[in-house]
Structure 1
Amino acid sequence: MVHLDTAADIPQQSDDVQPPVKKRCRREGAKWTRSGCLTCKRRRKRCDEAKPSCQSCIRLGLSCEGYGSIWAKPLGPAAQVFKQTEAPKRHRSSLSPTLSVSSLPSSLGQAFSTHRCVLSPPSSEQSFVSQSSPLPDRDDPDKVDGYVRDLVPCDQLVVGSPSPSRIISHLSDLDTHYLQYHMERGSKLLANLEIDENPLRSLIIPRALSSPLIMKALCAVSAIHFSNRAHYSWCAENEGANYYIDTMRTLRSTLAKAPGGSFPDDAILTVALLCKYEIVRGSVQQWAVHLDALERLVISRGGFDNLDQETAEFIRGLFVYVNNVARITNRRKIGNSIPSVESLGTRKLDIYIGYTEEILKLCARIADLPLLSSDFVALGLEINTIDTLLRNWTTTETKHTIPKGMTAATISRLHMVADCFRDAAYIYLHSILARITQDIIIIIEPPSPSTRPPWNNLISLPKAAAVQRLLQRIHTCSIDDNCEYSALTFPLFIAGCESETQSDRSLVFQVLTTLEVNFGIRNVQRVKELLGILWRGGKSHWLDVLEELQWDLILA
């Protein structure tokens, strides 16, 4: 056994006089502040805060970007905000988050100087989204911890974006960071309509400030959206996953403590945000679990009438939109009717539905047509009814109150999107009937032209005409970052599935990429992956491809 002489390891004092230690002197210059111009913040240099342009930028011949919000402009695909500084190391961790709130530094400036993330397009080795093989879905609740272990720990990344100001003292620096991002950017991109009283701000933010549960869920959504906008930042992705795990843990505890199954509004809003999180993340399964839970919670409360009006309007719009869009690509039954879903009277234009509610419900009816495939008479009557409703539909069919802050240009964009939805509904109707016919021909042996039912003759708009009309609307419209265009995922998807020319497919892929970059919702990437597989596979129907992939694709 080796004994260490601890005394020998201690440096002995020398009798000689030691020379005085020269103190480091800080070079004089402008006082460093957290409120300097954006250029100096990005360069991490002191700023003299002169206006309109600081002297530091003028002296160096730089363009002074002023003193606005760090979230004032959307992040472009090449914006230098998030970059991995070293190769990721696989790291096993416990269920507790990699970066706990208690371990955060006391100020955002200190936090961001310790953990800096910079955005650059990931290399082929670093990219966690493969064009050929989609990311494994973290959809088994028991596998959530394993998913987090595979993410790059935040202590291996560095954050070089300017620090947002603290808003509420009881929030952590990280909470404040993602709350401010949601308030200034995320809430404007995660809806299909931007209005002054956007409930993602007017409803969710006040509730989050008084409810730690909603705050965790909101930060999860904000972090995953920030990650998408920052070219899939590992740091923000990891933080979003940690918020998600914390939210699930707290939600289970909250639901278990609810007296007599009287679940609070906070729990309902939290589940809605979790569903939104999975859609933004590009989940192909777990969103359905949260949508089903949302439905059950609202039904347990007796329907929307028993929620406060603002919560009821927000949840109803989200549920009607996601539930009906989900049924387009999923054969299994998605959702049921919630009591009092139609009893809210004249409604203002919803941030998710816009003018498309009737079209969405017709698409849900189209999705149910295979249930009538054994009764040709009933099927023919339903096809005729759907076609008549589509042909006679107009955007002014249902009366809505116009929310405050809407402009004529916004309304025009909503009309354009709704018209695209009607064209898409026609294409979808043709596509579903083709799939039904395919099943019937397989059953009937031997197949012959007489075994192909003439259902297409019941549709007033041919498929090719509907595809061209939709793509012409897209082509003549300049698709930008106005959030109304974020709803075009479904029309572009179904047009891509049924298009046959290279030029049409190129247009679809190009516009989908624009949506992915502008709005940061990763299910658009799933759509692009599916279309790539479909176009390479020849004559397969897109529903067959989805079944082979075992995807519950969501186009919301």
Structure 2
Amino acid sequence: MTSTALPAQKKGRSRRSGTPWTRGGCITCKSRRKGGCDRATPSCNNCLKLGRVCEGYDDLWVAPLGPSAPVFKSTRGPKRQKLNSSSPSQPLSPSSSPSSSDSWQDVWQNSQLSPQPITPGWSIPSSPQDRVRDLDVDVASHEQNSGEQDRLSVIPKPKGFLSHLSGHEAHYLQYHEAMASQRLANLESEHNPLRSFLIPRAMSSPLLMKAVCAISAMHLSNRTDSLDAKTAAIDFYGRTLRGLRTVMAQSVTEIVPDDAILAVGMMCKYEVVRGSVQQWVVHLTALHRLIASRGGLGSMEPEAAHFLRGLYVYAYSMGRISNRKKILGSLILADTDMEAPRLSIYLGFTEDILKICACVAELPSLQGDDISLRLSIASINDSLLTWTPSSARLNIPQDLTQSTLIRLKLVAECFRDAGFIYLHSILEHMSRDTSPPCNATPQPRGPITEWSALITTPKQIAIDRLLSRIESFPLDDNCEYSALTFPLFIAGAESDVFEHRDFVLQSLGKLQENFGIGNTLRAKDVLRILWARKDAIAQDPSKNVHWMDVLEELQWELTLA
């Protein structure tokens, strides 16, 4: 009886005493084949007790990552050439023109794309050795044999169903599955297509895999300031562009596959995450042309079409708000669902509001026709007044909780207030614009007071209501709040209340910290420049400066997505 009881007692003591053994320990404990790793950050207590350097964790999502959390480190630093002057952490120079994106732009502009029937999905072969000169870092060819091995030495070799991937691909794919996919959507659900659709698709498409890994690595770099992740993001980005150029070269004789179009959509998303102010419009325009070349979304697989529709409508509408002159003038993407469209992870309940804002952006084209302009202002005002979250008939996933739906509706209400503010803003900018549109007969235009009289909600009331509502939000890591960049930006740009500035900057800072999307930094840059200009001319009532003037001077293609 004693001999049979001892093993059970020994097993019980090992499970109850000390720190339980886990397969998910730090890299140091795994390499030493030691249990007892408690996975604490920044260093596990097991390494601290033994006086060893804890090399971090290969599964970075084991705990929420702070902005300065350590990721992984190698015993030797990888060899690199120094960063160029246009680093993503700094505002881009208006004259910068990355060669990789220009080449991609040339390719799709020169391609003879025409509508074609749908064919089964297709992907290009993986090309692990491809390394290109990209936006921020020139990666030398000898890094493949030196620094690359240093970084990969701390990333476990993929096993099981990931075994066909490189160490970096498996690493960033897993990070995307557990962290980035939740932080890079405006709606989290069990069936988040960034996971349930995109990951299985990428597992069989080397091209799409590189695009997903580029976004994942850039997101990790934003949240941790990891130079390794930043370098990996640039590498994956460049290799994705090479793959897309190969597809475009074959587009004359072959149909552009769904995976390639999805990869272009991911490139547009990459630039938003990175905080680009010069390149994302190139990818958005290419996405529009490629979908048109297929004959529309209806020719694509239903899941791919649904995903791309939400992504494109969201990016297009946000682009029209801040880049009217640089975004395609018409949105020609028909709904793919025969019945009510599904609730999009990007649009939520805001789709109708975003489309109204896109109509507001078109008002300057009516400057030569005062009657049409007044009718349009009145129509937009009525649309904003009568809008409700339930206005659009949507198929809502069954797994969404009531609290999630409440957050989505609150965010949508913020967008309605932002719509009123944006309408006032555009009209004020038009009233100071003395240059008539092309081919339009200059006509006397009504003063801003007459135009504003057609809007039932005064600008300051909309600003106060919007910021009061956001102030009641926790702005935590519930990803529905990640959509608030545009409402915060437009309120900060149009408010004359000095105290609002700190609140807007703090709120945008929370979004950056919680969601790691780089465009919040660019929005803050524009606001700081705008406020400095306003303060400089505060003593001269005859002068004024508008946020669109600042963007024009900087030549920035700011996206508020």
TM-score (norm 2): 0.78
Give the 5 Å matches for 1:13-24.
none
Counterpart mapping for 1:75-474 below 5 A:
75-81=65-71, 91=81, 128=87, 139-141=98-100, 145=133, 147-150=135-138, 155=147, 163=156, 166=159, 167-231=161-225, 233-258=226-251, 260=253, 262-335=255-328, 336-341=330-335, 344-440=338-434, 451-452=447-448, 454-474=450-470
> Displacement of 1:210 after TM fit?
0.7
8 Å contact kept, 2:420–2:459: yes
Whether the aligned pair in 1 keeps the contact of 2:78 and 2:151 (CA below 8 Å) is no
Report the alpha carbon displacement of residue 73 of structure 1 after superposing the two structures with TM: 2.6
Q: How many pairs does the alignment contain? A: 485
In structure 2, do the counterparts of structure 1 residues 58 and 519 end up closer, same or farther at CA, with 3 Å as the change threshold?
A: closer
Q: Is the 8 A contact 2:25 2:38 kept in 1?
A: no
Q: Is the 8 A contact 2:219 2:274 kept in 1?
A: yes
SS of 1:348 mapped into structure 2: coil
- Unpaired segments of 5 or more residues in structure 1? 1-33, 94-124
1:547 and 2:535 matched: no
For the residue of structure 1 that corresponds to 2:61, the secondary structure is coil
Cα contact 2:317–2:354 (8 A) shared by 1: yes
Distance (whole Å) between structure 2 residues aligned to residue 58 and residue 488 of structure 1: 41
Structure 1 CA distance for aligned equivalents of residues 157 and 396 of structure 2: 34
Aligned-partner residue type, residue 205 of structure 2: S
CA–CA distance in 1 between the matches of 2:545 and 2:367?
20
Shift of 1:373: 0.9
Q: Could you report, residue by residue, the CA deviation over 1:122-181 in whole angstroms, capped at 9, with x for unpaired residues?
A: xxx999566677798564435972645457978298689875853421111111001101
- Cα distance in 2 for partners of 1:146, 1:310 equals 32
- Cα deviation for residue 351 of structure 1 reads 0.3
Large movers: runs of 4+ above 3 Å: 34-46, 49-62, 67-70, 82-90, 125-140, 146-154, 156-167, 258-261, 341-344, 440-443, 448-453
Aligned pair 1:47/2:62, yes or no?
no
| More moved, 317-326 vs 243-252 | 243-252
TM-score (norm 1): 0.78
- 1:516 equivalenced with 2:504 (yes/no): no
Per-residue Cα deviation, 1:215-234 (whole angstroms, up to 9, x for no partner): 11111111111111112x22
Given that 1:198 and 1:351 are in contact with CA atoms closer than 8 Å, whether structure 2 keeps it comes out as: yes
SS in 1 for 2:277: coil
Once the two structures are overlaid, the 10-residue window that deviates more, 139-148 or 172-181, is 139-148
Secondary structure (helix, strand or coil) at the match of 1:481 reads coil
Asked if 1 retains the 8 angstrom alpha-carbon contact of 2:302 and 2:336, the reply is: no
Q: 1:537 aligns with which of 497, 513, 533?
A: 533
5+ long unaligned stretches in structure 2: 1-20, 104-131, 438-443, 535-543
Deviation at 1:267, TM superposition (A): 1.0
Matched letter for residue 34 of structure 2: C
The answer to whether 1:528 aligns with 2:524 is: yes
Tell me, what secondary structure is at the counterpart of 2:202? Answer: helix
* C-alpha deviation, 1:331, in angstroms: 2.6
Asked whether the 8 Å contact 2:156–2:167 carries over to 1, the reply is no
The one-letter amino acid paired with 2:167 is: D
Amino acid at match of 1:313: H
In structure 1, C-alpha distance between the alignment counterparts of 2:254 and 2:492, rounded to whole Å:
45
**Is the 2:297–2:336 Cα contact (8 Å) retained in structure 1?**
no
Give, in whole Å, the separation in 2 of the partners of 1:442 and 1:258.
41
Instruction: Tell me which structure has the larger Cα radius of gyration.
Output: 1
